[in-house]
């Protein structure tokens, strides 16, 4: 069965032709977002549960399907580990023998990212608030407000300045992953020849899990002896004010994750065998005709996914690790003017500690934590505030127009 994917293809920079002395905009292959969160989590809110731990979920208030008391909400993590059974009867394992009661609970990673990679966004969302991340997994993603849509439009325009998207029909998971790697190869070629690329997909094995992300922008100083790529991320703001420190910290974590992934790739730490095994992919699967033709026009004809991965690894080996100095840009939404540029230094020890703490949550090694007291202002911008035990005044939540692209206060 074939599946139409919204993707784009990029000609190899050295193969581009010009017309009337005007350079042709390069084209890049990109695939759509990875699989959406399980829709079963949404349905679970409408299901009946009779376990003594969750009395209020059985009869949601007509005003909201998420209304529940504090006792119920404090059991959310327990529910996530039990699998949110939709049966009306209590699970026999809840009342079984010692072996049943002591069984290993299912982690959020197993439930919502099984055989899939975590994303950089998964980590930054967790760092922002673990409880909000847990609610999002169980009850659906955060609502997209006007500011978020405006931010997405801005990033799309930045990408369109240097790439052009075209649709490609794919037939398998192998085809989709081939597009992701082609995306990287063509973007990396553009970086090598033109000194700039955007929306570059990255993948790596981090602290025992696979991690993926899409880098906003990478710059390569073409005239300097130091050819270390500079990683840049753009944040848009509703108001002409700088973000609070927790927001800047979250942005720094995001960029450091990208540097970690980039540096791992260029250091040739990508394991093809481990990649194929984890994602259950056939390395010798014959790619669909459209993708094969795309590789031919790019100058590296590939017939199988393994061919594409080999070209991918060769491309990675041509670059140096990213610059230690990273850049966060803050733009005003109404006119795209630059409010500030935050230059900061990569801190591998801090990054590792943050990743390990996030993974403790994802692997079910501990319960989801609430934000610290000094950061509880975040709760006023959270759509789950009314159902969270950490929130005492849910009615104080501001309107969506007062938040930024990531749902944080403006």
Q: How confident is the model at residue 63 (pLDDT cuts 50, 70, 90)?
A: very low
Residues with Cβ < 8 Å from 218, sequence gap 6 or more? 187, 191, 196, 197, 198, 200, 229, 230, 231, 232, 262, 322
Token pair in block for residue 250: 């979250």
Identify the three-state secondary structure at position 347. Answer: coil
Residue with tokens 């061919």: 307
Q: What is the pLDDT of residue 147?
A: 58
Residue 37 maps to a domain:
no
Residue 49 maps to a domain:
no
Is the CB of residue 297 less than 8 Å from the CB of residue 290?
no
**In 10 A of CB 90, how many CB atoms?**
14
CA 220 vs. chain centroid, Å, equals: 24
Q: Is the pLDDT reported for residue 267 higher than 50?
A: yes
Q: What is the pLDDT of residue 294?
A: 87
Residue with tokens 């790019």: 298
High-pLDDT (> 90) share of the chain, %: 52
Residue 310 maps to a domain:
yes
**H or E segment to which residue 361 belongs:** helix 348-362
Residue 296 maps to a domain:
yes
**Average pLDDT of the segment spanning 274-293:** 95
Q: Is the pLDDT reported for residue 227 higher than 90?
A: no
Residue 366 maps to a domain:
yes
Higher pLDDT, 13 or 238: 238
- Residue from 88, 236, 232 nearest 152 by CA: 236
Mean pLDDT score across all residues of the chain: 75
Residue 184 maps to a domain:
yes
Domain that holds residue 141: 112-387
Q: How far apart are CA 200 and CA 180, in angstroms?
A: 9
- Burial of 353 per CB tally in 10 Å (0-12, 13-18, 19+): exposed
**Average pLDDT of the segment spanning 70-75:** 37
CA 403 vs. chain centroid, Å, equals: 20
Q: How far apart are CA 380 and CA 177, in angstroms?
A: 39
Model pLDDT for residues 394-406, shown as the tens digit of each residue: 444 444 334 454 4
Is the CB of residue 28 less than 8 Å from the CB of residue 5?
no
Identify the three-state secondary structure at position 329. Answer: strand
Identify the three-state secondary structure at position 119. Answer: strand
Say how many domains are in the chain.
Answer: 1
Q: How far apart are CA 338 and CA 22, in angstroms?
A: 28
Model pLDDT for residues 312-365, shown as the tens digit of each residue: 999 999 999 999 999 999 999 888 899 999 999 999 999 999 999 999 999 999
Question: Could you tell me the pTM of the whole model?
Answer: 0.71
Q: Looking at residue 196, which CATH number applies to its domain?
A: 3.90.320
DSSP track, 370-394: PPPGGGGGGGGG-TTGGG-TT-S-G
Q: For residues 371-399, b (16+ Cβ closer than 10 Å) or e, as one string?
A: beeeeeebbbbbbbbbbbebbeeeeebee
Residue 8 maps to a domain:
no
Q: How confident is the model at residue 300 (pLDDT cuts 50, 70, 90)?
A: confident
**Alpha-carbon distances of 86 from 53, 79, 81, 209, rounded to whole Å:** 15, 11, 14, 30
Residue 85 maps to a domain:
no
Token pair in block for residue 226: 């130091």
Model pLDDT for residues 200-219, shown as the tens digit of each residue: 999 999 999 999 999 999 99
């Amino acid at each position: 069965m074939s599946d139409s994917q919204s993707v784009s293809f990029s000609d190899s920079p050295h193969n581009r032709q010009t017309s009337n002395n005007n350079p042709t905009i390069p084209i890049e292959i990109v695939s759509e977002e990875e699989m959406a969160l399980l829709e079963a989590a949404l349905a679970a809110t409408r299901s009946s549960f009779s376990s003594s731990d969750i009395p209020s979920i059985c009869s949601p208030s007509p005003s909201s399907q998420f209304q529940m008391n504090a006792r119920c909400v404090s059991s959310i993590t327990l529910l996530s580990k039990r699998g949110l059974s939709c049966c009306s009867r209590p699970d026999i394992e809840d009342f079984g023998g010692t072996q049943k009661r002591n069984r290993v609970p299912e982690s959020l990673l197993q439930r919502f990212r099984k055989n899939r990679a975590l994303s950089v966004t998964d980590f930054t969302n967790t760092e922002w608030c673990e409880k909000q991340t847990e609610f999002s997994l169980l009850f659906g993603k955060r609502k997209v407000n006007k500011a978020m849509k405006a931010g997405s439009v801005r990033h799309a325009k930045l990408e369109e300045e240097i790439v052009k998207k075209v649709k490609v029909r794919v037939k398998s998971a192998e085809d989709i992953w081939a597009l992701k790697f082609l995306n990287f190869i063509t973007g990396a070629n553009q970086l090598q020849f033109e000194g700039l690329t955007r929306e570059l997909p990255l993948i790596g094995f981090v602290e025992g899990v696979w991690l993926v992300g899409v880098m906003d922008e990478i710059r390569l100083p073409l005239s300097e002896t130091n050819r270390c790529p500079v990683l840049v991320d753009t944040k848009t703001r509703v108001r002409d004010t700088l973000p609070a420190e927790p927001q800047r910290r979250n942005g720094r974590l995001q960029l450091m994750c990208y540097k970690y992934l980039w540096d791992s790739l260029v250091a040739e730490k990508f394991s093809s065998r481990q990649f194929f095994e984890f994602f259950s992919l056939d390395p010798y699967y014959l790619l669909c005709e459209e993708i094969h033709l795309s590789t031919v026009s790019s100058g590296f004809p590939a017939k199988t996914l393994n061919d594409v991965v080999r070209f991918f690894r060769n491309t990675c080996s041509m670059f140096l690790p990213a610059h230690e100095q990273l850049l966060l840009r803050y733009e005003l939404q109404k006119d795209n003017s630059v409010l500030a540029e935050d230059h900061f230094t990569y801190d591998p020890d801090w990054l590792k500690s943050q990743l390990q703490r996030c993974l403790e949550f994802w692997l079910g090694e501990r319960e989801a934590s609430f934000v610290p007291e000094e950061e509880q202002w975040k709760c006023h911008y959270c759509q789950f505030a009314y159902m969270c035990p950490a929130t005492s005044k849910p009615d104080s939540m501001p309107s969506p127009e007062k938040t930024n692209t990531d749902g944080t206060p403006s």
